[in-house]
Amino acid sequence: MTSPDCYTCGQEARIEELPLSERIVLDRHWRVAHAFDTALPGWLVLLPRRHVTAVHELTDAEAATLGTWQVRLSRALRDVTGCVKTYVAQFAEPSYRTPRPAVPPMSWRWVPGAAASPPSTNGSSLSTTAG
Ligand SMILES: [Zn+2]
C-alpha cells in the first residue's frame, strides 16, 4: 500500500533512481538511508518499504526483522564511525501534517555517540540536532 502524498512512498516508487545515500541497503521490508537533515555524521534512517504510520501497523514479518536491523545498524555505525554507543529513536509523524514534506510517516533513527562525548554530541541532544 502506498500513499500518493507521502514522501517515503514517492521514494519507494522510484527506488532504482535514488542516490546511494537514500538506499544504502535494503531488504524486502526495510530501506536504510542517510539522514540529510542533520549536521551529525553517521545518522542513519530505517524506513519501512510500504506506507506505515505507526508501530502497531507493522506485519509480523516486518516486526521479526526489525530487531535484526537494529543490531546490524548499530554494529555498522560502530565499525564506520568508531562510536562507543548508538542511540535509536522511533518517530511516527503524519507526513501530510508536517511543515517539511520530506518527513517520513514512520522511521527509526540511529545516532552514533561516544561514551565521553559532550552532551551536545550525544543522544541526549537528539531532538535539537535534527533539522
Ligand atoms: Zn508512505
Q: How many separate domains does the chain show?
A: 1
50 CA to middle of ligand 1, Å? 6
Q: Is the pLDDT of residue 94 over 60?
A: yes
Question: What mean pLDDT is predicted for residues 90-99?
Answer: 64
**How far, in Å, is the centroid of ligand 1 from the Cα of 128?**
25
Residue with more model confidence, 63 or 123: 63
Kindly report the CATH number assigned to the domain that includes residue 22: 3.30.428.10
Between the CA of 90 and the centroid of ligand 1 the distance, in Å, is: 16
- Residue 28 inside a domain? The answer is yes
Residues contacting 110, CB < 8 A, separation 6+: 42, 43, 44, 45, 46, 73, 74, 77, 86, 87, 88
pLDDT given for residue 119 in this prediction: 53
Query: Do the domain assignments include residue 73?
Result: yes
Separation CA 77–CA 97 (nearest Å)? 31
Residues 62 and 43 sit within 8 Å (Cβ to Cβ): no
The per-residue pLDDT for 45 is 93
26 or 102: which leads in pLDDT: 26
* Mean pLDDT (whole number) for 52-77: 94
Residue 31 covered by a domain = yes
Domain extent, residue 48, equals: 7-129
> From the CB of residue 99, how many other CB atoms can be counted at a distance below 10 Å?
5
pLDDT band at 1 (very low <50, low <70, confident <90, very high): low
Centroid of ligand 1 to alpha carbon of 106 (angstroms) = 8
Would residue 1 count as lying in a domain? no
Does some domain include residue 55? yes
Closest CA to 11 of 26, 20, 25, 22: 22
Which pLDDT band holds residue 4 (cuts at 50, 70, 90)? low
Tell me if 2 is assigned to some domain. Answer: no
Examine residue 124 and state whether it is found in any structural domain, yes or no: yes
Instruction: Report the percent of the chain where pLDDT is more than 90.
Output: 46
